[in-house]
Structure 1
Amino acid sequence: MKLKLTWLMTLFMAFVLQLSFAQEKTVTGTVTSSADGLPLPGVNVIVKGTARGVQTDFDGVYSIKASVGETLVYSFVSMEAVEMKVGSSNTMDVSMKEDVSALDEVVVVAYGTEKASNVTSAIETVKAEDIDAVPNASLDQILQGQAAGLNIQTSSGQPGASGTVILRGRNSINGNVEPLFIIDGVPVDEDNFRSLNSNDVANVSVLKDGSASALYGNRGAGGVIIVTTKTGKKGDGVKVAYRSQYGKSTYNDPGFEVMTSTQMLNLQRTIGTGLGNGLSDEAIAALSAQANTDWREIFFREGFTNSQEVTVTTGSETTTTYNSVGYFEQEGITQRSKLQRFTFRTNTNTSLNDRLDITSNLTVNFSKNNIPEAEGSGSLDNPFLAPYLALPFVSPYNPDGSLNIWGTDYTTQGGTNLNGFLNTPFITLNTNALNTEDENEMKIVGRLGANLEVVNNLTIGGSVGVDYQNLEFQNIVRPESIRGDITPDANALIKGSHFQGYQRDARFIVNANANYNNVFNEVHSVDFTAGTEYNKRHLMSSSFIGYGLNDKLVGSGSAITDGSTEDPATADTNGDGVIDDQDDGTQYYVPGVAASSFNDGLFSYFGIGKYDYDDRYGIQASVRRDAAARFSDTNKWGTFWSVSGKWNIHNEEWFNEAGAVNSMKLRLSYGTAGNQRAGGAFNALSLYAVDQTSYNGTVGYTLAQIDNPNLKWETTAQFNVGIDMSLLDYKMNITLDLYDKKTTDLFINKPLSLLSSQTGISANLGELKNSGVELGLDYQILSGDWNWSINGNIAYNKNEILDLGDDYDPANPILAGGGTALAEGEAIGTFYRVRWAGVNPVDGGGLWLDADGNLTNTYNTSDRVLLDKTQDPKFVGGFGTDLSYKGFALNALFTYAADQWRLNGSYAIIEDTGLAGFANMSTALDRIWSQPGDITDIPRHAAVSRGQAGTRYLEDASFLRLRNVSLSYTLPKDVLDRTKVFTNMRLYVQGQNLLTFTKWRGFDPESNISSTFFEYPTPKTVTVGFDVEF
């Protein structure tokens, strides 16, 4: 009986199995978008409850094996999932709707995350896809143009050089104007933010208004930029990716030209100076035939970029990791300009159980930087100055064809002038060939955190973090170099110098917080956070300089001559015709040593409360107390607070979503934040200095700074109103913000009576205001096989100084350098110059306007007036487009700045005819005034020096720049599947800074200084690369 039952069960199972196979079939179909009917490529189609699945191809078509009665699940990013049961038909077409809830992305805010619909503050997010593919060593420059109100001004085109980040205008005169930078919860030094590997970045949140920045207390006045790095995904298993990029760079040629040999010799003959003075046409032709050097070809080169990165991500049900290793190398566009950077990152997120999560983040960067000498300065070692001042009729080569780095005695007027103008190009070539200026830097940012859900809805958490930087620098002037000839002194017999030092900056942060959140009756949502934070900083530095180097031991401390050594006499002191052999008593080799150390700290506690009703009305309030170690006990503590609210108008019953507007949110906020980074760390203290002759020639201490116990941080209060809208079936998104922020207690030097022995003291005296409007827009024009979107933003900011203290005299604005001045009612960086009125046709002299606007032929600094022209732009922004067809994609980003001005010091010197005897000149001098009646813009020879230019070289530096453009191709998934190795592969070519439209006649209109002078320009770069995933 038992045997029969077994046989019957076996037959039954075989029948069922046969029936199942008989019902399994191939189901095909097309997935389209309900909005426009276009096919959707890349939709996941999975048999529910199994691991069987496929993706739709570029035409939205899929094919999968399934049985009758099974359910197919269709899922796609930003679309509502669809489930359909398999029936008798072999064809199943699906139309998918946009998932409005999916559009409510999570936004990183202060001390947490929040749904976009609940955000009450002005926060803008830049996503990974807009960041990680750009091959730039400085993250801040990648962000330019991608967030409204964010203005990034470059300081140099040197690889790895940072710029100045300004958010919603300058909020300080003498303090740090940049935002607070935070990486994975750790406040970091600006350089650590800039050197972060952009491929590791998941998103960047820009916190703009007072409500968002008040939570960072006395460090948030300039806004806050929060960087969140990438993590693995749960359940993804192990994934490996490799990125390789290689690029070429060329310099952006400025908008001026200098003379050829023939032009320069003719000019010298015309004005009666230099080698060309008195030469015949035949002699000029002969000299020009011998050499007609374009020195740009000697000094500028084609730079390159080489970037290699490997990332490994893992994801189980409880633990995810993200690990990356990268090497970045960039050779600059001039000699001795190079950066090498090695990066490592590891992020781990672990859920030990349903209630306890552990996170850790660690990044380590090591860089080697070779820096060209004196770039951006007036020194003759500047490699961007030399190509334009070097005389064209001088050859750069030795008779054997090798490059000459010493100079040539081409004239009897001053000989070779070894360290002077006549040897301009060779000084630079010699310095860059023989001397060194190097930096080695190690940066570490780490964090370990934990969150424990004590009971339902109540979580406690804490973290410890570190931001560490070790910088080592070295500058060696070799004894045999041209500059070594005058180092330490022209009379010293042993030449050269060795300068070396280090700086170590360690910052530690400890954070603890508790959070309670709950929803009552499905409509009342509350969220409360309380926390405390402790920051500690220790900075120390040391350096030395030694002189008189042994040329066999250069590079080591052993090369330096003993500081007590005296050179033998080099003169006949008694007149007997014999050089005396006794010591002359001069010690040239006394070394210099410097060291410093200081500690800084910050203790804070804060609270945040949020309430939301029915996803329609929301309010948030925060308060923070900060104690700063750099101020006296009287003003150590400060309170910063904010309140903000939102109204999701689209969730009102009366709102008609069927119209053009799909969603609308109104935001309102007010908050205060501080800036403790105004002035130095010791501004509130009395300081003393050692004086070698303080009393009757005796060494002693003298008062160097009077203390001010009333000194405190600057405070910025900001009001913001904004609106966020989605239109046209969520294809268009618009964000509009208006703000007004006022900074009080500005750090300003208060003049003191000379009886105090000091000229001034740091005090909180002034006030200034920034007000403006920001508009951001993106629009999805096409979707499907053809996918096209556009985006753009524009920001207007008005900066105005309201008060400069009781000692301010309106008749005498405070000179601020670079041709600018500080004045009440004007913006920071307002130009204060004598107005240039042209060239007098009668005598070729200069013409100016006096203070009253009358024409005068005399230059006088008392005629300076404040101009409606500033160094910071009134308008900044960017716009771009993303166009794709199946696997091809074209992306472009333009950035711009309008109504910004610069003094063009570069142009001023190449039009200064007083230098024409020994330096090349602009081709504009072909128009030099030569006789009465000449109508021209170039004065007669030596009539007007560049110091008397006034507004002559004050130029509009507005620009429109093609910041980044890329063309890429992603291989189809079916092709990659056949390799059984790759899961994704993308090939691309991209360009940076390829086009710039501007009236500016200098190297780079984006400079962060008001007066430019042969600065290192931002190069043009073309890069090819590929990304692969395994």
Structure 2
Amino acid sequence: MKTFLNALLICLIMVPATLFAQTTVTGTVTDKADAMPLPGVNVIIKGTSRGTATDFDGKYSIEVNDGETIVISYLGYTTQEIVYNGQSTLDIALAEDAAQLDEVVLIGYGSTTKQDATGAVEKVGDEEFNRGAIVAPQQLIAGKAAGVRITTGGGAAGEGGEIRIRGGASLSATNDPLIVIDGLPIDQRGGAQGTANALNAVNPADIEDFVVLKDASATAIYGSRASNGVILITTKKGRANQPFKVEYGLQASTRTVANTVDVLSAAEYRALASDARFDSSTLGNASTDWQDEIYKTVNGAIHNLTVSKGYENFNFRVNLNHASQQDPLGGLNERTGANMAFVQRLLDNDLKLTLTSNLSQVENDFANTGAIGSAISFDPTQSPFDENGEYTQYGTSANLAPVNPLFLLDPANDVDRQTSKRAITNFNIDYKFWFLKDLRLNLNAGIDYAENDGYRFEAANPNVLGGAETNEVSSGLNRNTSLDFYLNYKKNIESINTVVDITAGHAFQEFYIEGFFDRQTNTRITQTDINRNSLESYFARASFDIADRYLVSASYRRDGSSRFSEDNRWGDFAGVSVGWKITNESWMENSFFSNLKLRAGWGQTGQQELNDLNYGYLGIYTPSRNDAANVQFGYAQPNGQIDLTQPIFINTLRPEGFDENLTWEKTDQYNVALDFGFFNNRLNGTVDAYYRETEDLLSTIPTAAGSNLTDLLTTNVGQVTSRGLEFTLNGVIAQQEDFGWDANFNITFQEQEITSLSLNNDPNYFILTGGISGGVGNNIQILREGYDPTTFFVWRQVYDDNGNPIEGAYVDVNGDNQITEADRQPYKKATPDAFIGFTNNFRYKNLDLNFTFRGSFGNYVYNNSASDRGNINAVVNQPGYQANAHASFLDTGFENQNLFSDLYIERADFVRLDNISLGYTIPFEKITLRASLTATNLFVITEYDGLDPEIGNGIENSFYPRTRDVVLGLNFTF
């Protein structure tokens, strides 16, 4: 008893002493990225039940003893543990945990986790985007994802880009992927009329992430539109329990063209006077670099003002933005937009309502790109203005001569303005049923509505006697409405140790396009066109995670399209995939792998995009309009007398060609992959291999005379196969409080081959494509069985003993002692064998540095600028004028065009420093400031002699040079 009383006395003495030894610690928890306070952060004493949470201002207060460990944790952020050593104030900055943030990824009509995904799915988040004054959203992910190649169309303001996922699967139909914004599939035909880019209405600063679905097992749930892959775009919506936040960002930029076409200088041009055919009397007294004259250094600015706040059951985000981007030719792209997102949670979070709306007005003032060709060919000894202050022109005796390029760029002579107003609005209902919490209903209703108004004026050609000016007024309407819903049941059935995830739903989408133009030249043409089509679908998916080791997923979609006859209207598309999480096996517990997953899949997808050919299966008649395609039928007879001055014209009905058996393209794709990770996934990557086969190609082919009502018919013919290997490696090289370094490298190997093209399986059948300058109807590429669809079709050049090309001398392939079309051969191709992306991100305290390289290997470009104008006849043998020549003439000495010589097929491998950004963040007490300096397209390493080695179709001719941009960014967060 005495021992017990002594122990109790000691305890009574020690407890107050312990209490008195505790110290109250206060502080603020902030987001390391922007220094904004974080509410609801858990702050606990390790090994005890003592803890608290931060308030709306990120502040906390807690009692702590010396030597105890304070644990600070928050969902989506890396947990910190700090040993207390007597501080009275302890402020903590939490960094986002990339591994947690990337774990959940969207898939079609639902989501999964990265570790449970069985298809080829890749997510690129905001923190990985390319930086700079980006107007076209797809440029955010250029070089970021294996198997995804993005090629810009040139340096025009607001210029978009060609997106290819695994190279595309079609020939004549579109190769663009399906793009889904917040659940709304966008029209694959290009969005609103009058815009340079279908995605320009979307503000890049409002995008949270891109998810790329690459293989058919992932895309089959989108059925008839998924053969070329799917890109899911999620916009920012704020988050719950977030304090009121105001952000303002400014990006001011300058743009210059990175390169120009190599033509003769004024001195080199005057040296041609030694040629007897050269008319020296036409020489001027100036030395004018016409490309320098037309391309200017221009400025641009992007403003973003964003306010957001999150309550426990409601959060919102509103962004106001204005982007103004000039192009070096004088064009202008301006976007003014408002983007709103509202999220309301009701019924104890069982009901979630989400409304997003993207409102924009895009104004384009397009510069006349014909000035590019004129600048290349105009006499460099002429002054831009004559002695009267007028634009120097060749005159009406040379009506085929190039027009002074500055004349073409003068707003008094050429105007092309387009204004597009667009609203992309989506409303989503997500409801968990009260009687079965594992069952939820998701309903998505969306509309993409755009109106376009345009005006075009073109002055009369000053080189044409009696030429007429052109006035054109146009307008258009695009309406895309969508409604889909699905039921999802997800349950962990413990009795069989399996997570079951089942989805089934219905979708309907209608596209309506109306276009009008009124053109007045010598005659007046007024025309209104209406196109509409719709798609109704039923879809389902079932996924099983067995024992957290074995994954099985299967999907099915049945699509009905109004573009096909009732006999061919419905198509069925399915996919199945499996996965094995090897690291979850008991015998892998002590492995050095932190992740190892094997997955494989097969799927069938479709293609029904035929541009505006919505009625290709119907026999339709097109009425002649105004004075077009009508027939004279006698003369008027006023007062019973024939008046030969009043001919009578009768409008006609023109039958169009059709194929009543027109149906879907069908693509089968097989995919096998290995996901791996080491060192707690600080080093991780993926190897993906695929094989794809497309049959019943939607191709436009010549028809036999009399077999149809047209000589070119869109029908189902042919087959294309492609295969590829994709490798991605991500590494967190350093991860310390003051220093961080992570890197991403991806490389894609690909090849594509036409395996069938004709209806009768003729292996020698081919179609010429790839139109070029230098004559009417000339083509430099060939579609032929056994070759890539971008293969060039040329004569093989013969060279002398010194390696110089012999003009007009080509290899006589068939040995008939003459050079004919039969001697032209398929040779090289425009698509690369491999392409890469390499990104590094560095962080030192408040300083950050990011850069991205892109590269392409095995691709070739046809230098049409050189083949067309790299000869003396381009200068002296013109009707009534003398023009400039391409500088390649100085090397070849060619007299005439040699358009089909393989001399002009040039290897175009390149490595480009695409994006580099340096930033510094300064956290003040109430404001966080981040300043950055970004440069894009800084340099290109290549052996290609032409303007740019990265040409989408592989043919360089009057290509608008890409620009080099320097951007100063300032971002304020309040």
Tell whether the structures are fold-level matches, with TM greater than 0.5.
yes
Closer/same/farther in 2, CA of residues 120 and 693 from structure 1, 3 Å limit = same
Structure 1 partner of 2:561: 628
| Map of 1:1006 onto structure 2 | 950
- Counterpart mapping for 1:230-379 below 5 A: 230-254=236-260, 257-275=262-280, 290-335=285-330, 337-354=331-348, 355-373=350-368, 375=369
Task: Tell whether 2:515 aligns with 1:541.
Answer: yes
Amino acid of the structure 1 residue aligned with 2:824: R
Is 1:477 aligned to 2:458, yes or no?
Answer: yes
**Does the C-alpha gap of structure 1 residues 834 and 615 become closer, same or farther in structure 2, counting only changes over 3 Å?**
same
How far apart are residue 854 of structure 1 and its match? 6.6
Residues 660-671 of structure 1 correspond to what in structure 2 (within 5 A)? 661-671=593-603
Corresponding residue of 1:864: 824
Task: Tell me if the contact between 1:694 and 1:702 (Cα under 8 Å) persists in the aligned partners.
Answer: no
**Partners of 2:240 and 2:804 in 1: how far apart?**
81
* Equivalent-residue separation in structure 1 for 2:541 and 2:401 (angstroms): 64
CA contact (8 A) 1:20 1:67 kept: no
- Describe the SS at the equivalent of 1:137: coil
Provide the residue aligned with 1:710 in structure 2: 661
Partners of 1:896 and 1:1002 in 2: how far apart? 17
Q: 1:686 to 1:304 in 2, by over 3 A?
A: same
- State yes or no: 1:532 paired with 2:537: no
Task: Determine the structure 1 residue equivalent to 2:186.
Answer: 188
Aligned partner of 1:308: which letter? H
Check conservation: 1:134, 1:142, Cα contact below 8 A.
Answer: no
Contact 2:491-2:499 within 8 A present in 1 as well: yes
Aligned positions of 1:209-220 closer than 5 A:
209-220=215-226
Question: Counterpart in 2 of 1:124?
Answer: 122
Q: CA deviation at 1:485?
A: 7.7
Aligned twin of 1:768: 720
Q: Is the 8 A contact 2:403 2:463 kept in 1?
A: no
1:668 maps to amino acid? A
Aligned counterpart, 1:229: 235
Q: Which of 458, 464, 479 pairs up with 1:506?
A: 479
SS of structure 2 residue aligned to 1:1014: coil
**Is the 1:839–1:846 Cα contact (8 Å) retained in structure 2?**
no
In the alignment, structure 1 residue 608 sits paired with structure 2 residue 523: no
2:63 paired residue number: 66
* Residue of structure 2 aligned with 1:846, choices 807, 811, 814: 807
Match of 2:619 among 678, 686, 710: 686
Residue 941 of structure 2 aligns to a residue in which SS? strand
Shift of 1:20: 6.8
Output the amino acid matched with 1:896.
Answer: G
- Aligned-residue offset at 1:123: 0.4
Mapped pair 1:1027 → 2:971: yes
Task: State whether residues 382 and 392 of structure 2, in contact with CA within 8 Å, keep that contact through their aligned partners in structure 1.
Answer: no
Mean CA deviation greater in 128-137 or 505-514: 128-137
Alignment partners' CA distance in 1, 2:449 and 2:412: 33
Contact 1:840 1:847 in 2 (8 A): no
C-alpha distance after superposition, 1:693-748 (max 9, x if no partner): 67988846555334433211101111100111111332111111000111111123
What SS does the aligned partner of 2:901 have?
A: coil
Say which SS state the counterpart of residue 1004 (structure 1) adopts: coil
1:393 to 381, 393, 402: 381
| Structure-to-structure mapping, 1:456-471, within 5 angstroms | 456-471=437-452
Structure 1 stretch displaced more, 766-775 or 648-657:
648-657
The structural deviation recorded for 1:687 is 2.1
Q: 1:965 is paired with a residue of what secondary structure? A: strand
What is the alpha-carbon distance in structure 1 between the residues aligned to residue 463 and residue 267 of structure 2? 33
Is the CA contact 2:623–2:654 (under 8 Å) kept in the aligned structure 1?
A: no
Q: Distance in 2 between matches of 1:864 and 1:704?
A: 37
1:428 paired to 2:372: no
In structure 2, what is the equivalent of residue 800 of structure 1?
Answer: 753
- The match for 1:115 among 113, 117, 127 is 113
| Matching residue's letter, 1:736 | V
* Secondary structure of the corresponding residue to residue 199 of structure 2: helix
Cα distance, 1:106–1:476 mapped onto 2, change above 3 Å: same
Contact 2:296-2:329 within 8 A present in 1 as well: yes
Counterpart AA for 2:614: A
Question: Deviations along 1:905-932, whole A, 9 cap, x unmatched?
Answer: 11223412102231223444445xxxxx
The separation in 1 between residues aligned to 2:482 and 2:840, in whole angstroms, is 41
Q: Deviations over 1:109-165 (max 9, x none)?
A: 111111111111100111112237431211123322111111122223211122221
Of residues 189, 198, 208 in structure 1, which corresponds to 2:204?
Answer: 198
Higher mean Cα deviation, 463-472 or 618-627?
A: 463-472
Greater mean alpha carbon deviation, residues 816-825 or residues 770-779: 816-825
* Superposed CA offset, 1:807-866 (max 9, x none): 45444521123411111111111111112224699999614333527797x753331111
Match for residue 673 of structure 1? 605
Distance in structure 2 (CA, Å) of the matches to 1:664 and 1:295: 59
- Report if the CA contact (8 A) 2:71-2:79 is conserved: yes
Task: Give CA deviations for 1:384-431 in whole Å, capped at 9, x if unaligned.
Answer: 22333222221224559xxx55216xxxxx76757543754454355x
Any unmatched runs of 5+ in structure 1? 1-15, 31-39, 57-61, 278-283, 376-381, 409-413, 548-587, 928-936
3-state secondary structure, aligned to 1:253: coil
User: How do residues 593-992 of structure 1 correspond to structure 2 at under 5 angstroms?
Assistant: 593-659=526-592, 661-678=593-610, 680-690=613-623, 692=629, 699=650, 701=652, 704-748=655-699, 749=701, 751-754=703-706, 756-759=708-711, 761-784=713-736, 785-807=738-760, 809-818=762-771, 819-838=780-799, 846-852=807-813, 860-867=820-827, 869-917=828-876, 918-927=882-891, 937-939=892-894, 942=895, 944-947=896-899, 949-971=900-922, 973=923, 976-977=924-925, 981-982=926-927, 984-992=928-936
Per the alignment, in what secondary structure is the counterpart of residue 677 of structure 1? coil
Equivalent AA in structure 2 for residue 466 of structure 1: I
Q: Distance in 2 between matches of 1:855 and 1:896?
A: 43
Question: Distance between the aligned counterparts of 1:844 and 1:621, measured in 2?
Answer: 59
Provide the TM-score with structure 2 as the length reference. Answer: 0.86
Shift in CA distance, 203/616, structure 1 to aligned 2, threshold 3 Å? same
Structure 1 counterpart of 2:583, one-letter code:
H
For residues 27-42 of structure 1, the aligned pairs below 5 Å read none
Q: Distance in 1 between matches of 2:912 and 2:803?
A: 42
Conserved 8 A contact 2:748-2:836: yes
- 8 Å CA contact 2:756, 2:763 repeated in 1: no
Partner amino acid, structure 2, of 1:915: A
Whole-Å separation in 2 of the counterparts to 1:1019 and 1:352: 50
Q: Distance in 1 between matches of 2:707 and 2:182?
A: 52
| Contact 2:244-2:310 at 8 Å conserved across structures | yes
Decide whether aligned partners of structure 1 residues 421 and 755 sit closer, same or farther in structure 2, where only a CA change above 3 A counts.
closer
Q: 8 Å contact 1:751–1:759 — kept in the other structure?
A: yes
1:521 and 2:494 aligned: yes
Question: 1:282-334: per-residue Cα shift (whole Å, max 9, x none)?
Answer: xx9xx7xx422222331110021201001111100001111111100011111
SS of the residue aligned with 2:408? helix
Q: Equivalent residue for 2:775?
A: none
Q: Aligned to 2:275, what secondary structure does the other structure show?
A: helix
What does the per-residue CA deviation read over 1:782-804, in whole Å, with 9 as the maximum and x for residues that have no partner?
A: 12122112211111111011111
Residues in 1 aligned to 2:88 and 2:455: alpha-carbon distance in whole angstroms: 75
TM-score, length-normalised on structure 1? Answer: 0.81
Q: Which of 1008, 1018, 1028 is residue 962 of structure 2 equivalent to?
A: 1018
Gaps of 5+ in 2: 1-14, 30-34, 45-49, 191-196, 635-648, 772-779, 877-881
- Offset at 1:17? 12
Letter in 1 for 2:602: Y
Structure 2 contact 42–52 (Cα < 8 Å) conserved = no
Structure-2 change in CA distance of 1:98 and 1:366 (3 Å): closer
Larger of the two Rg values belongs to structure: 1
Q: Which is worse superposed, 469-478 or 200-209? A: 469-478
Q: Indicate conservation of the 8 Å contact 2:333/2:364, yes or no.
A: yes
1:450 aligns with 2:410: no
